[in-house]
Amino acid sequence: MPAANEAGSNRIGRMSARSVRKAVRYLMIAGLLALLCIRIKSGWLTESADALNRDLSEVKAPATIETAKVDLPQSIVRLPVGKEPTPVVRNVYEAHTETAPQPTTEHKDYEIVEVGAEQPYFGLPKGYVALTFDDGPSPYTKKIVDILINRNVAATFLFIGQNVEHNRGAVAYASEHGMAIGNHSWDHSSKLTKVSLAAQTTNLAKTSKLLESVTHTPVTLFRPPYGLINKSLISSAKGQQMKVLMWNRDPEDWNADKKEDILKYFHKVTASGGVYVLHEDRLTVEALPEIIGYLKEKNMKFAIFK
């Protein structure tokens, strides 16, 4: 019996030793798994922080635009006047810096820019372009609007009062599809700078009143016929809460013999900062899809004005 008891004790001892070793192994495995989980979690947190930092860096304003604190709706931005291009019409007014742009809508490839009221506005900062169309509305207005919206961009239309009388539907169509609309005088007279302040005021007011009756939106932009401007005309526009919108790129599409003549101009000049003056003509309509495509290839951001 003593021998049997001793054998039993030895078996129990061996079993206890095996149990201890097994428990130790389990503890070691559990410790390794815990350490691995901690390292994975730490790495995930680090990667998440890096990703967040990248996201935040991507939404900073362009380095070429000076930011200022201005209380504006999110759908409207202020931009400084471009310094590169030479204005088509010389004047004594100096550009001033305004606010850096903020995106208006994620699904649109354009931004709304509110121009300053102190002097005529000629150009945009680097990286931005604007297409503007003079002398409408016309039978081509709807075609132009359709081309623009099909490519997720927009433009600014400067309408002549006399033309609006005969084509109100085109004005309504442009307004309903998000285009900016401005006043281009009642009759596109080259003598508008030579008439009295009262006559200028009547001319502009008559045009704005008609446009507003169609769009139900205040008119805030004025472009003088032929780009002819003086202090009296600026004062008249300002008195009616309108800003003077000029341009710094002129393809002379009205004088083109074929659409290639218009396209050649776009390839010849620097796109960045350009405010292009175009007209509602057949060849311009034909060239427009390629114009937009070219400017997008150049990674230009489109702008319309308010």
In a domain, 238, yes or no: yes
Q: Which amino acid is located at 51 in the chain?
A: A
In a domain, 89, yes or no: no
**201 and 290 fall within a common domain:** yes
The reported pLDDT for the residue numbered 19 is 56
Q: Token pair for residue 217?
A: 């939106």
In a domain, 70, yes or no: no
- Residue pair 149/177 in contact (Cβ under 8 Å)? The answer is yes
The reported pLDDT for the residue numbered 23 is 57
**248 and 144 fall within a common domain:** yes
In CATH, what number is assigned to the domain containing residue 213? 3.20.20.370
**148 and 239 fall within a common domain:** yes
In a domain, 173, yes or no: yes
- Residue pair 185/203 in contact (Cβ under 8 Å)? The answer is yes
Q: How far apart are the first and last CA of the chain?
A: 108
Final residue before a domain boundary, out of 40, 60, 80: 60
Distance CA 224, CA 232 (A): 12
Segments forming the whole domain that contains residue 203: 110-305
In a domain, 19, yes or no: yes
**164 and 265 fall within a common domain:** yes
**251 and 191 fall within a common domain:** yes
Phi first, then psi, for residue 11 (nearest 5°) are -65, -45
Distance CA 268, CA 248 (A): 14
What's the domain count of the chain?
A: 2
**40 and 115 fall within a common domain:** no
**44 and 178 fall within a common domain:** no
Phi first, then psi, for residue 61 (nearest 5°) are -65, 150
The reported pLDDT for the residue numbered 26 is 59
Residues of 47-83 as b/e, b for ≥16 C-beta within 10 angstroms?
A: eeeeeeeeeeeeeeeeeebeeeeeeeeeebbbbbbbe
pLDDT in tens, the chain (306 residues): 444 444 444 444 444 555 556 555 656 666 555 554 444 444 433 333 333 333 323 232 232 322 222 233 333 333 433 333 333 332 222 232 333 333 333 457 899 999 888 889 999 999 999 999 999 999 999 999 999 999 999 999 999 999 999 999 999 999 999 999 999 999 999 999 999 999 999 999 999 999 999 999 999 999 999 999 999 999 999 999 999 999 999 999 999 999 999 999 999 999 999 999 999 999 999 999 999 999 999 999 999 999
- Residue pair 115/82 in contact (Cβ under 8 Å)? The answer is no
**Size of the chain, expressed as the number of residues it contains:** 306
In a domain, 45, yes or no: yes
pTM: 0.68
In a domain, 84, yes or no: no
**1 and 149 fall within a common domain:** no
The reported pLDDT for the residue numbered 102 is 36
In a domain, 78, yes or no: no
- Residue pair 284/262 in contact (Cβ under 8 Å)? The answer is yes
Distance CA 144, CA 220 (A): 22
Q: Token pair for residue 67?
A: 């930011």
Distance CA 213, CA 201 (A): 18
**140 and 286 fall within a common domain:** yes
